[in-house]
Structure 1
């Protein structure tokens, strides 16, 4: 029975790998998708954000549903949905249909992630729980870097469509393994589902991310571009972006007010606000959101820069990003060895410091004529930090959460991470493309390029997410513009890296509010005792 629990952890970790590998594979495959489907830079962001947005919006919903209907059941259903939508993505003939498939993938991912955490929280106790969380977190760190290598090989040797097809055998393995080794777990006291809270959560996150991504295209205040839904076109001078931000603010207020009202009337709310009375849970979630904001945004821009500016193919890009995996795997061993002697929060802080150093190093290396050799140690340091911080921060957040509320607890911390990830992709993507456009416009003006021709070049480079640079290089008449585009895209990528480092620094400061306790201390043991009554 003891061995069965740990074998079950293996399949739970593979389920996490399904989500992480898919996300990172897409990063490397994006340039090939741009070439094949002709998607714009806004669609590039939406290929990522469609998944992350739905993912973040529904984590709390499925965390609550899993507590009531069974965590294993919801996780397996999520795997099936994820695999089916992966098949749809693999056969998508247009960018819009690919984005739609990614939306459905987000539903499956939102069913998988919080249930893996709550299953671990319900299955393991004390020091074993810390080890299990370390395995879970190390899987995330490692797969975040192995994914690009796998995606690069599949994209280069076959097609970007195979990058989604890899989910099919993984999904089958997970379903069989979990059915054989993981026991069902649920909260028998859960009686109702907060449907209104779920709707308000989805509206809030959806409107916020929409505004952040589309502001660059539609205008931050006045309408600056066509916003078309089917045959209907936005008719007003005021851009839909500030309206989206207003909806997000009102949605957040409504979500909090409704949740507190439900708790006061003795009903279960989607987000258990009483959990935020637990200091480690409250402060840990704030830190997790800020850290994720800095961690994942740079992964959008780096593969684009490596392929469209330096000219690497997808496999070479994956090999370079493999350095990140090496750092993460080394860190997982170091974290496991240190967890019994050093407070987990100090491991998190060391990891965040390493991430900041690594990202700044990457930013300093980025240039149109950069060599890949200097990127390897920078990415290794960054990966080492990710490996240290991810697993231990999860343990710190959930250490005092009672088992019967583990679904809500894990859903909340996963949501905090995914909100940070979604905001990171939106904000850093905006930094990348906006700064690239501004710098390239200025450079072309210095070259004496007429404004109408300059506008066409800038639009082509930005809308193609850098893919048009190769076409500019092929003609002697636009070779100088191609050099300017490479320099501008490099500057944009560098600014995105430095912005990510800034968010990570804020996340590091946020961890100062977390208490320092060694794994296995008396406080760490209290959560399962409380849950047991």
Structure 2
């Protein structure tokens, strides 16, 4: 094991930087889309696919990515994910046409889908006890900071250099992580007697990809949804029948884990929808450039970082579930405060102040949600559990943005649309709060036994 009682060693930085890289790449596109469209002469429909192609494969291959680490060995699969993601990033940066950038974003998404769950599973392999809890807390913190920092970095890179630089940066980082992994990272041996669930793999990829397309696609969305429901229904049936399922159904036998999945789904839906619509609002209402828009998210990023530093102390004192409830309340308040204060108050009052409250809440919530999402799992299903956590994360993002945009697409003027969007996001965050209350009740019941 790489971890000991005193020090994390180099394994944790390798895991966290690799995870940070894919999260950063996911949100950096938000502030780069206008430049990408101009450089490659993309219409709005084609431009939408620059994000959707990545989301499609990232979401569709998550369970597969988590489970193959269980079967073939996490270190080997992690190296494969780094290679795919780095090559995909290079090719996206070199893209000269719409079809090329869309295809390479899809390829990059496969690498991310393998990396994301494998990073968490590797962490579970390498640390035990209190070290594991602290490492998972750092992992959850990375999930939040990577997303919000991507907004800032995306605006800076796009304005100062080129949107391509954001993708090119992944290449040397990916190569460095690959080399360091070869020398320093160990993982549990693969289960040589276990075969990959081929039927479950096919049905999960088909069902999840179709579900993503039914949310983010442009044509035949209803047909995609029907295919998704049928494939996922067959998938659940198959997983209960096969010997070595890609998603063991016993993952969902724990009420605490289930509540954590639901709370994470709605929280991520609210958070990413907030980032997405606020990016546009800053440019439409105040005429911010991509650079200023990116910098405008610093009031989220900085408090989030300092809030995350308090997670370990607060979770020990309050418990994970109680901390999640408090954090979601702060996030909900942060989103709704812009509506309460009014857009005519200017950026510092209407945006920056609510962002600070939102940032503290986000800094506090993702670490304990991650801990609860993999609670009470053994090494045999650690990869599958990690896959579910990251699948929930990815689908929460897609569903949150799509629901908010769909419900407000016909509203004018823009300020009316934005206020309505914030109210919907507040409601989504409220659903996360309800799931957090269920998690708290489950935790209290377990402690009372």
- Whether TM-score is above 0.5 comes out as yes
Of 353, 362, 379, the match for 2:329: 353
Distance 1:377 1:173, change over 3 A: farther
Partner Cα distance (1:163, 1:309) in 2: 26
1:297, distance to aligned residue in structure 2 (A)? 2.2
Correspondence list, 1:156-305, <5 A: 156-188=159-191, 191-214=194-217, 218=219, 240-262=220-242, 267-305=243-281
Does the alignment pair 1:378 with 2:354?
yes
Does the alignment pair 1:68 with 2:71?
yes
Q: Does the 8 Å CA contact 2:65/2:387 hold for their aligned counterparts?
A: yes
Q: What SS class does the counterpart of residue 298 from structure 1 fall into?
A: helix
Q: Does the 8 Å CA contact 2:8/2:131 hold for their aligned counterparts?
A: no
Q: What SS class does the counterpart of residue 12 from structure 1 fall into?
A: helix
Partner Cα distance (2:189, 2:338) in 1: 44
Which residue pairs with 1:445 in the alignment? none
Does the alignment pair 1:335 with 2:311?
yes
Mean Cα deviation higher: 122-131 or 501-510: 122-131
Partner Cα distance (1:313, 1:370) in 2: 20
Which residue pairs with 2:421 in the alignment? 496
Distance 1:4 1:399, change over 3 A: same
Deviations 1:97-128 (A, max 9, x none): 22222111110101111011111112222222
Does the alignment pair 1:315 with 2:295?
no
1:5, distance to aligned residue in structure 2 (A)? 4.0
Correspondence list, 1:380-395, <5 A: 380-395=356-371
1:296, distance to aligned residue in structure 2 (A)? 1.4
Distance 1:16 1:298, change over 3 A: same
Of 394, 399, 410, the match for 1:435: 410
TM-score (norm 2): 0.92
Distance 1:310 1:316, change over 3 A: same
Q: Does the 8 Å CA contact 2:158/2:290 hold for their aligned counterparts?
A: yes
Q: What SS class does the counterpart of residue 163 from structure 2 fall into?
A: coil
Deviations 1:71-102 (A, max 9, x none): 12211211111111111111222333222221
1:154, distance to aligned residue in structure 2 (A)? 1.2
Partner Cα distance (1:395, 1:512) in 2: 16
Which residue pairs with 1:82 in the alignment? 85
Mean Cα deviation higher: 157-166 or 175-184: 175-184
Q: Does the 8 Å CA contact 1:297/1:424 hold for their aligned counterparts?
A: yes
Deviations 1:224-265 (A, max 9, x none): xxxxxxxxxxxxxxxx33222211211121111111121xxx
Q: Alpha carbon RMSD of aligned pairs, Å?
A: 2.3
Does the alignment pair 1:409 with 2:385?
yes
Deviations 1:110-157 (A, max 9, x none): 111101111111222222211111111112222222222222121111
Which residue pairs with 2:27 in the alignment? 24
Consecutive unaligned residues of structure 1, counting only runs of 5 or more, are 219-239, 440-487, 524-533
Of 130, 133, 136, the match for 1:130: 133
Q: What SS class does the counterpart of residue 317 from structure 2 fall into?
A: coil
Q: What SS class does the counterpart of residue 129 from structure 1 fall into?
A: helix
Q: What SS class does the counterpart of residue 269 from structure 1 fall into?
A: coil
Does the alignment pair 1:425 with 2:401?
yes
Of 93, 112, 117, the match for 2:115: 112
Q: Does the 8 Å CA contact 1:281/1:401 hold for their aligned counterparts?
A: no
Distance 1:309 1:45, change over 3 A: farther
Partner Cα distance (2:105, 2:395) in 1: 17
The structure with the larger Rg is 1
Partner Cα distance (2:64, 2:434) in 1: 30
Q: What SS class does the counterpart of residue 318 from structure 2 fall into?
A: coil
Distance 1:313 1:430, change over 3 A: same
Q: How many residues are treated as equivalent by the alignment?
A: 442
Deviations 1:42-81 (A, max 9, x none): 4444322221221111111111111111112211211111
Which residue pairs with 2:436 in the alignment? 511
Q: What SS class does the counterpart of residue 377 from structure 2 fall into?
A: coil
